[in-house]
Amino acid sequence: MRTVSNTIGAGGVTPPATVKVWDPFVRIFHWSLVSLFILAYATGDEIERVHVAAGYAIAGLLAARVVWGFIGPQHARFLNFVRPPREVLAYLRDMAMLRAPRYIGHNPAGGAMIVALLVALVGTCVTGYMMTRDAYWGSKLVEHIHEFLANLTIGLVVAHVVGVLIASFEHRENLVASMITGRKKAAD
């Protein structure tokens, strides 16, 4: 669906046409996950009740996002953005040479990052839950895996932000703003 605005902007320039890409659920999920992960990470060793509550909230968000990945609108569906490794590597190569094609939804690297983040976060939630059960209470192995996955998530987030900044620069569009408004400029 394409939306074209005939409104004349400042200086008599017609603003570029935009399309709706990110539905409200995806945007709320994204920013809620960011906030809850920061809260959980910051309170990990200090305020256990807040840490555990944030962890359960993250687990609930992840479950809802997985369901939404199958039943949500076009750009939220896994079938729309999960690509084979060959396509992801080709896209990363093109991105490094600043010639990657623009995607309205997630590009192949973004799709791979979503899968990696979901897997790391689910693993973090599962190991966090395990640490509350009698069978794993005090298990240093489970605790180390939990901490490793949380730190891996931080690394993935940094790579995600770098990728968003590179794609924003390369395609001259503010991808952070699109995750707030839900809109991106229409196809060139």
> What confidence tens digit (pLDDT) does each residue in 54-108 have?
999 999 999 999 999 999 999 999 999 999 999 999 999 999 998 999 999 999 9
Q: Is 45 helix (H, G, I), strand (E, B) or coil?
A: coil
**Reported pTM:** 0.85
pLDDT at position 46 is 84
Other beta carbons within 10 angstroms of residue 166's beta carbon come to 16
Report strand pairing: 18-20 vs 183-185: antiparallel
Nearest to 145, CA basis, from 116, 118, 125: 125
Identify whether the C-beta of residue 123 lies closer than 8 Å to the C-beta of residue 59. no
Identify whether the C-beta of residue 53 lies closer than 8 Å to the C-beta of residue 47. no
Q: For 158-185, write each residue's pLDDT tens digit.
A: 999 999 999 999 989 999 999 999 999 8
